[in-house]
Structure 1
Amino acid sequence: MPSFDYDLLIVGGGPVGVSLALALAAQPLRIGIIELSPQQNNLDSRALALAFGSFRIMDGIGYWADIAQEATPIEHIHISNRGYFGVTRLDSTQIRLPALGYVVKIGSLTQAIYQRLKNFPQIELICPAKIIQIQNKSDYIQAQITLNNEIHTLSTQLLIAADGVHSVVRQLLQIPVYKTGYDQTAIITNIETEHPHQFTAFERFTDTGPLALLPLAKDYSNVVWTVKNSQAPYLTAISDKEFLSRLQDQFGNRLGKFIHADQRYAFPLQLIKTRQLISNRVVFIGNAAHNLHPVAGQGFNLGLRDVAALAEVLTHTHRQNKDLGNQTVLATYKQWRQWDHRIVTQFTDTLIHLFSNNYPLWGLSRGLGLATLDICPLFKKTLMRQAVGLIRRQPKLVQGLSL
């Protein structure tokens, strides 16, 4: 076996990839993070909805304290269907939690995790770098990267692909994916409202797709408005005043008048799933493994649970002085994560097909379903535990335990 440059190479320096490195920081491992252009500032005002299970993961890794003051708790969720009767109200006290989740701006999270990286000299950020070739050897991986216009060759026991929906690792290894489009685009912005949100997240289903408002500091909310692809260019080009008027028409007056909107972003939506969670000494996590519709805010949380499970498997493997890239080790991770991936993917995909249409009979049925759910405590508790990531066998970090 060669003398490795790294025990572990992570391709992708986003929150998922860096979280894995930090989760393994207590182990005597040399870890490299290959990143083309990390955003190490707090200028990105887009937001992430973190499930309560994700809060536990971040707290267990050690960086929640660095972002806690920037996080807004979600204590209540209000689900409605535009144009029809029936609502469902979820409350954190119903499952005895202080919050169902938290909302954090991406810039604040990114700044916090990169600041924490500086505490661990055994974790090396290789940047600006791009992986260009992968060679699978029998007992190690050899990766070629470009760094400062030069080609370098690195070796590692295990390669982690955390490089997003357009994963270069996945392309280089020619890993097949399942892909389907929704003919929808997410319009994302932050707005100021007349009335305070009272730490409530709103999920409102419309005939173009779901509209979510997530609580931020003061009287601001993060907006994720799903529209048809044909509508997106118009909604990103119109004035703030006209945009707010159209958004208000879809949402209603539960938060009073919409006063101000920040910069708008548009992201076409599609479901992408890798056909292989693992390959020879390679593991796919986060959006490199699954890119979901943003309805119910499950994508990033699913990626963090990937981190928690893989960190636990690798920590146990290292303590037994075993090869991190052993296929049996990787198969253990795959078997553990398949169920969660399948359930969450089916859940989000089904929601879109059920709620993104304007057939009257379907609308009446949806309204009846929401009204029924609202008066069934057992169903509501099951839904909430699914949403916050606390069902079935979960990794230690999700349970609030240390590795």
Structure 2
Amino acid sequence: MPHPTSSNPPVLIVGGGLVGASLAIALDVAGVDAVMVEAAAPRADAQPSYDERNLALSRATVNGLEAIGVWRHAAALATPIRHIHVSRSGDFGSVRLDAQREGVDALGWTLPAREFGNALLRRLDECRRLRRLAPARLEALEPLAEGWRARVSTADGVQEIDAALLVGADGTASYVRDRLGIEADTYDYRQSLFVCTVTPERPHANRAYERFADNGPVALLPLAERRCGLVLTVPTAEADAIAALDDDGFLAFAQQRFGWRLGRLSRPGKRHPYPIKRVAAGRLTGPRAVLVGNAAQTVHPIGAQGFNLGLRDALTLAELVAAAPDPGAPALLEEYAARRAPDREGTMNMSHGLVQLACLPQPLLGPLRSLALLACDRVPPLRGLLARKGMGFRAEPPRAVLERLP
């Protein structure tokens, strides 16, 4: 059924995760009615935890979150990234990016995922044109002449919702993508990811580290209270053995992989292996339907581009819908796909290419990789381009992320 504040059918967002919720908020800011269906009940977690997942948010992402009113709920708990150090085990040279040298106060920020989720929930509570159904289960989707009809189970019974535009924001295993008949290309990296919090012996000085090696990248992200977020990639064949290590054994392994730039690492949090796969939808749109976030593309976590890319999906879509009388018009969806293609393909190719070139044992490429690191560090135009892309300013970004570009 239509949203009660409008005679026009709303936008229907399936999935209320980080990208889906951000899209819902952006549409509300733009004055567009929407319904968001989310399987999990909204629940703010006010209990701080040493052991939690952390997000690396690019500068463009934070600009966008400021524009839609989310960042004010999260800024006090975020840690600025003012320096980035990139290197590869066994190769000489490194790339060092510096916020002051690039004319900004920070290249990005880190934030516990729990705190970001809480910020989104607080901002969702402020929305006036959004209808939230959670917990709710999408039972069926039926195409209509001018949109879609969804059957949704809620605590109050089954509801029918007609929408002019269907948005799949329902993650890597997207039901909406399958229902649209959009195939996805999957690439198994045969790698698994461990994420946890550690405490280094020396202060991190707001520096993020990315270190490549034959068996995968390892990253250390600055957090509050001298903590760091560890992101450790290992071959999947070794994941179970590493998961079985006790704290001392895991720390010794992480120390061997990362090195001693911050001294001895201590206090590892809980960790579990997550298989890493690249999943890319064959197309972004269907009849009066569109995919955003992980439903459109799930990328290798190298460089922490996943949510940052998904938010640019959401903000671009909100920008186009706000300016159109019909949110599901074919011309609008064609423009969305065209606008997102360079950023999407560039980001996916970058993450995939880095894994192939920087993390696989190819001894003959060693000198070339080292020269590339030196060039990116010593040649200002190359370093500036790398910093700009790392901050999320790619291709034709949504206006919301540029409003605060220095």
TM range (shorter): over 0.9
1:26 aligns with 2:33: no
Give 1:126 shift.
Answer: 0.6
Of 138, 144, 147, the residue aligned with 2:145 is 138
The equivalent of 1:244 in structure 2 is 251
Give 1:38 shift.
Answer: 4.7
The equivalent of 2:200 in structure 1 is 193
Query: TM-score scaled to structure 1, two decimals?
Result: 0.94
Give 1:170 shift.
Answer: 1.1
Of 64, 74, 78, the residue aligned with 2:71 is 64
Distance 1:330 1:190 in 2: 41
Which amino acid is the alignment partner of residue 302 of structure 2? V
Give 1:373 shift.
Answer: 1.9
Q: Tell me the SS of whatever aligns to 2:127.
A: coil
Q: Tell me the SS of whatever aligns to 1:254.
A: coil
Q: Which moved more, 1:180-189 or 1:44-53?
A: 44-53
1:154 aligns with 2:161: yes
Distance 2:105 2:253 in 1: 34
Q: Which consecutive residues of structure 1, in runs of 5 or more, have no partner in the other structure?
A: none
Of 270, 274, 278, the residue aligned with 2:285 is 278
Give 1:35 shift.
Answer: 0.6
Q: Which moved more, 1:225-234 or 1:393-402?
A: 393-402
Q: Tell me the SS of whatever aligns to 1:84.
A: coil
Contact 1:40/1:110 (8 A) holds in 2: no
Alignment of 1:252-331 (within 5 A): 252-317=259-324, 322-331=325-334
Q: Which moved more, 1:149-158 or 1:196-205?
A: 149-158
Contact 1:94/1:381 (8 A) holds in 2: no
Of 121, 125, 132, the residue aligned with 1:118 is 125
1:390 aligns with 2:393: yes
Q: Tell me the SS of whatever aligns to 2:100.
A: helix
Distance 1:230 1:149 in 2: 47
Which amino acid is the alignment partner of residue 403 of structure 2? G
Contact 1:4/1:156 (8 A) holds in 2: no
Alignment of 1:193-232 (within 5 A): 193-232=200-239
Q: Tell me the SS of whatever aligns to 1:238.
A: coil
Q: Tell me the SS of whatever aligns to 1:125.
A: strand
Q: 1:3 to 1:244 in 2, by over 3 A?
A: closer
Q: 1:350 to 1:160 in 2, by over 3 A?
A: same
Give 1:364 shift.
Answer: 3.2
Of 7, 10, 16, the residue aligned with 1:7 is 10
Q: Deviations over 1:364-395 (max 9, x none)?
A: 33222212221111101011111111243221
Q: Deviations over 1:175-229 (max 9, x none)?
A: 1111111100111111111001100000000111111111111211111111100
Q: 1:186 to 1:38 in 2, by over 3 A?
A: farther
1:166 aligns with 2:168: no
Contact 2:15/2:169 (8 A) holds in 1: yes
Distance 1:359 1:345 in 2: 22
Contact 1:131/1:169 (8 A) holds in 2: no
Q: Which moved more, 1:41-50 or 1:304-313?
A: 41-50
Which amino acid is the alignment partner of residue 329 of structure 2? N
Q: Which moved more, 1:304-313 or 1:78-87?
A: 78-87
Give 1:67 shift.
Answer: 0.3
Contact 2:29/2:68 (8 A) holds in 1: no
Cα RMSD after superposing both structures: 1.8
Give 1:116 shift.
Answer: 1.6
Give 1:4 shift.
Answer: 6.2
The equivalent of 1:362 in structure 2 is 365
Distance 1:54 1:3 in 2: 31
Give 1:145 shift.
Answer: 2.0
Give 1:263 shift.
Answer: 1.1
**Identity within the alignment, %:** 33
The equivalent of 1:184 in structure 2 is 191
Q: Deviations over 1:279-331 (max 9, x none)?
A: 111110000101000111111111011111111101111xxxx1111111111
Distance 2:307 2:17 in 1: 11
Give 1:343 shift.
Answer: 0.7
Q: 1:257 to 1:401 in 2, by over 3 A?
A: closer
Contact 1:14/1:38 (8 A) holds in 2: no
Contact 1:77/1:89 (8 A) holds in 2: yes
Contact 2:84/2:97 (8 A) holds in 1: yes
Query: TM-score scaled to structure 2, two decimals?
Result: 0.94
Q: Deviations over 1:38-97 (max 9, x none)?
A: 563346820111110001000000110110011111111101111222111111122211
Q: Which consecutive residues of structure 2, in runs of 5 or more, have no partner in the other structure?
A: none
The size of the alignment, in residue pairs, is 397
Distance 2:302 2:32 in 1: 37
Which amino acid is the alignment partner of residue 168 of structure 2? A
Which amino acid is the alignment partner of residue 95 of structure 1? E
Q: Tell me the SS of whatever aligns to 1:397.
A: helix
Q: Tell me the SS of whatever aligns to 1:96.
A: coil
Of 62, 77, 80, the residue aligned with 1:73 is 80
Of 360, 372, 388, the residue aligned with 2:375 is 372
Distance 1:292 1:22 in 2: 24
Which amino acid is the alignment partner of residue 312 of structure 2? R
